[in-house]
Amino acid sequence: MALGGIVIGKRTTLRTPTEDDLPSYSRWMADMRVRRAAGVWHQPAMPATWKERLKEQAKEQRAVLWSIETEGRLIGLVRARLGSLEGPPAAHLQHFIVDPDQWRKGYGLDAALALHRYFFDYLDLKRSGFELRADNVAALRIAERLGYTEFGRGHQVHYRDGAYVDEVWLVMQREAWDERWAEKEREYLPLGKAPR
């Protein structure tokens, strides 16, 4: 479960990472646009270090990592923790990074839709959550469009550019996904439901 399988969107594909992806991962973690927008998954490092990190990821029981590609080009990564120690089965997005050179092209929304279809439709999870920096307008817009709602806020959590930024805590329940996306995005019928 530690390295995700293949999840296909309309324009993007989430696929199992390979060692060839690691130089791009390291480059994104060093890019100040990425570092400003979100927390990074590990610091930039030499390729041998990233190979060790990928091996460690493969051993993770509950955290899943995908590379995001479009038309055969690597454009991002997503990492999520699946399952729940308390309550119903859930997903928690830890990292969702699109190459800054590919921002504002619709890839983030497409990959997010495919990922959440996998969470709610294929895995039958009951909710998904994550945290965002309050000034990450593009990510907040995608989250709102998906159906996430704010349930909490950490005040002045992140310091950069001489000022503090809040952190927004977001959650989407299965019912919100079904209401907004089940008719458009459903790939599999729920167990026990007959096709219309």
Tell me the domain boundaries of the chain.
Answer: 7-185
pLDDT band at 191 (very low <50, low <70, confident <90, very high): low
Whether residue 170 has pLDDT greater than 90: yes
Instruction: Report the phi/psi class of residue 124: left, alpha or beta, with left for phi > 0 and alpha for psi in -120 to 50.
Output: left
Q: Is the separation of the CB atoms in 171 and 149 below 8 Å? A: yes
pTM summary value: 0.88
Tell me the per-residue pLDDT of 1-60, one tens digit each, with 9 for 90 and over. Answer: 466 789 999 999 999 999 999 999 999 999 989 988 888 888 888 888 999 999 999 888
pLDDT band at 86 (very low <50, low <70, confident <90, very high): confident
pLDDT band at 177 (very low <50, low <70, confident <90, very high): very high
CATH of domain 7-185: 3.40.630.30
Q: What are phi and psi of 68, to 5 degrees?
A: -105, 130
pLDDT at 153: 81
